Chain A
Amino acid sequence: MFHWLEKNPFLFAVGVFIVIAFAGLIEILPSFTNAARPIKGLKPYTVLQLAGKEVYKKDNCIACHSQLIRPFKSETDRYGKYSLSGEYAYDRPFLWGSKRTGPDLHRVGNYRTPDWHANHMWNPKSVVPASIMPAYKHQFKNIADLETAYAEAVTVKKVFHTPYGNDIQPSKAAFEKYYKTTALPEALKIAKAMKNKDVLAMVQQGKIPEIVALIAYLERLK
């Protein structure tokens, strides 16, 4: 019956490969898709948080900080519960990092405050005397790029069906409306908690400095 197959060794080899690869796929893929699903209650990043994530990437926080708590007692004692893959479902890309010159930041939103971050980014030694982290004072002046972050939200909503609401639409007018009604109040809340008068004044004038976006992002890491 399969005599013709035995006479074609190349075809046979291809057939064997397909059979084995198929077995591998049905064993491996379901667990991958399961693990990649967002965990219950996970919300996509707000536009302000996305802008903060860009600041995080731009200023290369990933070079010294990881965002992945491994299930070892020594790590969970210091940083909190170990990370689950579903927690990164809306991270495009995820920022796990591979180097810990500074501490892990995956749950930093649980145990720091906007006020602390503001002091720390302005001068790390003012709160942690032994810190070797440089100061990031430019973040208090530079304006965060909310427009690009908004475009990112529009894109992932369209391409990956990230569950954003109807306020994320591909038009300039929609962005301006979102900026006024959603992003600015969110930024104002953070600026108020930061206790920095200059930053608060800037946000009240309708400008969002990078530090506010970054803190919004760090506060989201829980």
Chain B
Amino acid sequence: MNSFIVKGLALAGVLVIGTLVVIKQMHIDLSDPINMITFLGAIAIAALTFGVGAKYMAQMKSDTASGELAEENWDGIGEYKNELPAGWAYSFLGTMIWAVWYFFWGYPLNAYSEIGEYNQEVKNYNKKFEAIHKNASPEVLKEMGESIFLVQCAPCHGETGDGLSGKAQDFSKRFTKEQVLAVIKNGQHKLNFPLGAMPAGMAQGKDAQAVAKYVANGLKGTAPTAWTTCAGCHGTDGKGNGGTAPSLAGYNLPLVKHVLANGKTGIIGHMPAFPGRFTPVQEKALAAYLGTLKQ
């Protein structure tokens, strides 16, 4: 055996023993797979470095040139005909194949895009969100509705939903008398409910006053005779006939959905539409939260 190999392996052995001492000193737990892999890696590096190094050092010392000379000759310096190393040749072929893939499929047509990543993130999130909250409990919906309300609605409607003294709709009640009278006088055609537009002037004078008082009072007590006209679309209980007309009794899901999609213009002012801003679950949550605000 060549003395270089012996020396190299001896040095590698010293390094391995050194590693073992460190392991012992620092109480490193080798039953942990990560530690074990790191330790084996250290041994492999030590053995390969000194083994391979020593082998070539020895070869340089004892080897003599041999083989068939190529025809080219540069001022007396010749070159042996060497076979291309197989690993090198296969890697080269591999990169050529990879380049074709990369040029035609990998890069230009399937490039990374920030918007693509965003779309994917939103899609995955919404899917997960809808799945988790498919059958959300009323408490969860209320909490979710409150946090949406505080970010998106509170700047105009106030943190408690009181409408900031008449600057926006006051959610502690469905209507004031003035609002009902204004809707009866002007009609309402922008909410796009299935039953269609409400014409202006559905009730006059005393009838209108009576209906306004009844609706503003939260539909309590006996209904005035003119209420039958309203009940034709809004339902006898005023709850909007199962979502085909706006509810007059409180803030239910169809009403929240239609106002968010179309905005609302009334005597207070104008509320912009929020189309596509909320998922169905979030709309449900908002309706649930508004329901709890009602006195």
Chain A window 52-72, contacts with chain B (Cβ cutoff 8 Å), 1 for yes, 0 for no: 000000000000000000011
B15 within 8 A of A: no
Q: A115-B167, A116-B155, A127-B164 are in contact. Are A76 and B122 (CB under 8 A)?
A: yes
CA distance A73 to B123 in the complex (A): 10
Q: When the two chains form their complex, are residues B125 and A111 in contact, meaning their CB atoms are under 8 A apart? A: no
B151 within 8 A of A: yes
Chain A window 140-154, contacts with chain B (Cβ cutoff 8 Å), 1 for yes, 0 for no: 000000000000000
CA distance A128 to B156 in the complex (A): 8
Q: When the two chains form their complex, are residues B274 and A73 in contact, meaning their CB atoms are under 8 A apart? A: no
- State how many residues of chain A have any CB contact under 8 Å with chain B: 20
Q: Which of B121, B125, B164 has a CB less than 8 Å from the CB of A126?
A: B164
Q: How far is the CB of A206 from chain B (nearest CB, A)?
A: 26
B114 within 8 A of A: yes
Q: When the two chains form their complex, are residues B121 and A73 in contact, meaning their CB atoms are under 8 A apart? A: yes
Q: How far is the CB of A100 from chain B (nearest CB, A)?
A: 14
Partner-contacting stretch, out of B17-25, B39-47, B230-238, B265-273: B265-273
CA distance A78 to B114 in the complex (A): 19
B190 within 8 A of A: no
Q: Is the interface of B mostly helix, strand, loop or mixed?
A: helix
Q: When the two chains form their complex, are residues A127 and B121 in contact, meaning their CB atoms are under 8 A apart? A: no
Chain B window 121-140, contacts with chain A (Cβ cutoff 8 Å), 1 for yes, 0 for no: 11001000000000000000
Q: Which of A76, A113, A127, A193 has a CB less than 8 Å from the CB of B271?
A: A113
Q: When the two chains form their complex, are residues B277 and A115 in contact, meaning their CB atoms are under 8 A apart? A: no
Q: How far is the CB of A132 from chain B (nearest CB, A)?
A: 14
- State how many residues of chain B have any CB contact under 8 Å with chain A: 22
B178 within 8 A of A: no
Q: A115-B269, A116-B167 are in contact. Are A73 and B156 (CB under 8 A)?
A: no
Residues on A with beta carbons closer than 8 Å to the beta carbon of B269: 113, 115, 193, 195
B159 within 8 A of A: yes
Residues on B with beta carbons closer than 8 Å to the beta carbon of A112: 155-156, 272
Q: Interface on A for B, CB 8 Å cutoff? A: 71-73, 76, 78, 80, 82, 110-113, 115-116, 119, 126-129, 193, 195
Closest CB pairs A-B (n = 10): A71-B118, A115-B269, A73-B122, A111-B272, A113-B270, A71-B115, A116-B156, A73-B121, A128-B155, A71-B114
21 contacts between A and B (CB under 8 A): A71-B114, A71-B115, A71-B117, A73-B118, A76-B118, A78-B151, A82-B115, A110-B272, A110-B274, A111-B272, A111-B274, A112-B155, A113-B270, A113-B271, A113-B272, A115-B270, A116-B155, A119-B164, A119-B167, A127-B155, A129-B159
